[in-house]
Structure 1
Amino acid sequence: MLELNRFPQLPTEWLTGFRRAVDDGFRAFTREYGEAIELFFEPLRQFLIGSERLLIQSPWPLVFGGILLLAWLASRSWKIVVGTAVTLIAIGALGMWEDTMRTVSMIFVSTVVAILLGLPVGIAMSRSDRLQRAINPVLDIMQTMPSFVYLIPVVMLLGIGRVPGLLAVVIYAVPPIIRFTNLGIRLVDKDLLEAADAFGASAWQRLRQVQLPLALPTIMGGVNQTIMMALSMVVIASMIGVQGLGQPVLKAITNQYFTLGVLNGLAIVGIAIVFDRVSQAYGKRLQKHLEVQHG
């Protein structure tokens, strides 16, 4: 009866040998190619440092006004602009301005990288059912894998710092933009594609002038979800040296600083709401614009 309570498993020696072989191989790979990988990601590190310095070292009224202007241009809603202003004022008054700007720069860079990676993959998936069937399980794994797990390979490859945290955030946040791009292009009306073919449009012209513009509201939904997932990764990425609002939250957890944790957590929530409302409003404006054009 005792044996029925224990699930049969491979011999312990086999499991130990397999794990040791994989770990040793990964360490050897890291020692051999670690410097080359760091050099490859150096432009990304400079981009992140540059955006962070721009937000932190610029006069705060200039940054404040720039964010409000972007919120207005994207949403054309005074309610959203006022909400953004109130959120930023509260963050600054409570002494969290610099950490918030670091977090905003991280989210900005990771979102840009996720879009640059995700759009081509989503477009390729929309053109091939076979590729879609191959990539969907990978995306499922990426979205269900515990976020802590993403830290292991990037830290082993690149150590502690901004770039490993950025890569972990991008890997965690890129699936929505891939899925929504694929979905948006596939949902484009077939009659419009046939009309484009009838006018002699090439595949590239059909993609650039018909499919992508019509899929843009759906793609913006993917951008919105990517931003939200990137923000949810901020606290976890702080474990490997990513500066921003996540580090005070981590400090509060380890030292039981209730107020510090709650305030910085609320700052993350506030930034998430601002990003969410602005990106959603922009997506709705795009949808209405396209309905007017094609309606």
Structure 2
Amino acid sequence: MDWLTNFPHLNDEALRLVKKGLDDAFRTFTRTYGDSIEGFFAPLQYLLIKCEHFLTDTPWPLIISLAAGLAWLASRNLTTVAGTVVTLVAIGFLNMWDDTMKTVSMILVSTIIAIVLGAPVGIAMSRSERIQRVINPVLDVMQTMPSFVYLIPVVMLLGIGKVPGVIAVVIYAIPPMIRLTNLGIRLVDKDVLEAADAFGSSNWQKLRDVQIPLALPTIMAGVNQTIMMALAMVVIASMIGVQGLGQPVLKAINNQYFTLGLFNGLAIVGIAIIFDRISQAYGKRLQRHLELMHA
């Protein structure tokens, strides 16, 4: 029975060798393909820089007017518009405008990428039980993994900066987009689909003209949750060099600057409320519009 006494030692040694092998393999991969990976993500960096320059270089009255116009188009509610204007004016008055615009640019780019990548995956899941069984455990892991963990592989592959931050944010924020796209399409009334079949619609026509339009309110809820989760990553992403409201908050935590952390934290909350109210209002208006169409 001596082997039982030696088992923990052997187990630790085997685990150490496995970890060492994985670390060495990852280092070799990053050294070999690091430049190619950076080149692959160059368009993303270009998009992020352009978006950031647009928001920071455009005069603030124009940006506030644009935000107010979007709030009105989405909600048709003067309270939402007034809240958007007051929040942005307060952010500018407290000298947090540039950091806020950098954060907004990152959220916009991250949300666009999450929609472009997540919606097709959600559609594929809604059309195949097999794909759903494969993807669901992956989404479960993504949603339970500590957010700090997402920073490790992207930093090792791409270093610190904007692009790794956006990638980490997208990975963290994309599960709601996938899940709610899948759910929305699955909840489309079967009678409506049967009517589409009766008119000879192909699968693509049913998806484009029936399922996606009827699922849009639920998909918009997925967009809303994606934006909220992206904002939740702002402070964490600042740890790898992402500029914006997260960096002053991190600085305040490290140096016990209470007012700096409070004001920038409130700015993050304000931006979150603006995004939340606008996206929710648009989703509700869209749902009412579709109900009237099918009444």
Counterpart check, 1:241 vs 2:241:
yes
SS of residue matched to 1:174: helix
Q: Over aligned residue pairs, what C-alpha RMSD do you find? A: 1.1
SS of residue matched to 2:17: helix
Counterpart check, 1:71 vs 2:66:
no
Q: Which residue of 2 aligns with 1:85?
A: 85
Aligned pairs for 1:164-183 within 5 A: 164-183=164-183
Moved over 6 A (4+): none
For 1:147 and 1:83, locate their aligned partners in 2 and report how far apart those are by CA, in whole Å: 31
Q: Which residue of 2 aligns with 1:209?
A: 209
Counterpart check, 1:47 vs 2:47:
yes
For 2:169 and 2:217, locate their aligned partners in 1 and report how far apart those are by CA, in whole Å: 24
Following superposition, the deviation at residue 16 of structure 1 comes to 1.0
Length-normalised TM-score, structure 2:
0.97
Counterpart check, 1:260 vs 2:257:
no
Following superposition, the deviation at residue 9 of structure 1 comes to 8.3
For 1:46 and 1:187, locate their aligned partners in 2 and report how far apart those are by CA, in whole Å: 38
For 1:242 and 1:55, locate their aligned partners in 2 and report how far apart those are by CA, in whole Å: 16
Q: Which residue of 2 aligns with 1:111?
A: 111
For 2:262 and 2:14, locate their aligned partners in 1 and report how far apart those are by CA, in whole Å: 47
Following superposition, the deviation at residue 10 of structure 1 comes to 6.2
Unpaired stretches in structure 2, ≥5 consecutive residues:
1-7
Q: Kindly provide the CA deviation profile for residues 98-141 of structure 1, in whole angstroms up to 9, marking residues without a partner as x.
A: 00000000000000000000000000000001110110010000
For 1:10 and 1:231, locate their aligned partners in 2 and report how far apart those are by CA, in whole Å: 45
Q: Kindly provide the CA deviation profile for residues 50-73 of structure 1, in whole angstroms up to 9, marking residues without a partner as x.
A: 000000001111111111111111
Q: Which residue of 1 aligns with 2:151?
A: 151
Q: Which residue of 2 aligns with 1:13?
A: 13
For 1:261 and 1:99, locate their aligned partners in 2 and report how far apart those are by CA, in whole Å: 13
Amino acid corresponding to residue 156 of structure 1 in structure 2: M
Q: Which residue of 2 aligns with 1:59?
A: 59
Amino acid corresponding to residue 237 of structure 2 in structure 1: A
For 1:202 and 1:76, locate their aligned partners in 2 and report how far apart those are by CA, in whole Å: 36
Unpaired stretches in structure 1, ≥5 consecutive residues:
1-7
Amino acid corresponding to residue 155 of structure 1 in structure 2: V
Pair 201,239 (structure 1): closer, same or farther in 2 beyond 3 Å: same
For 1:262 and 1:10, locate their aligned partners in 2 and report how far apart those are by CA, in whole Å: 51
For 2:279 and 2:55, locate their aligned partners in 1 and report how far apart those are by CA, in whole Å: 20
SS of residue matched to 1:160: coil
Amino acid corresponding to residue 57 of structure 2 in structure 1: Q
Aligned pair count reads 289
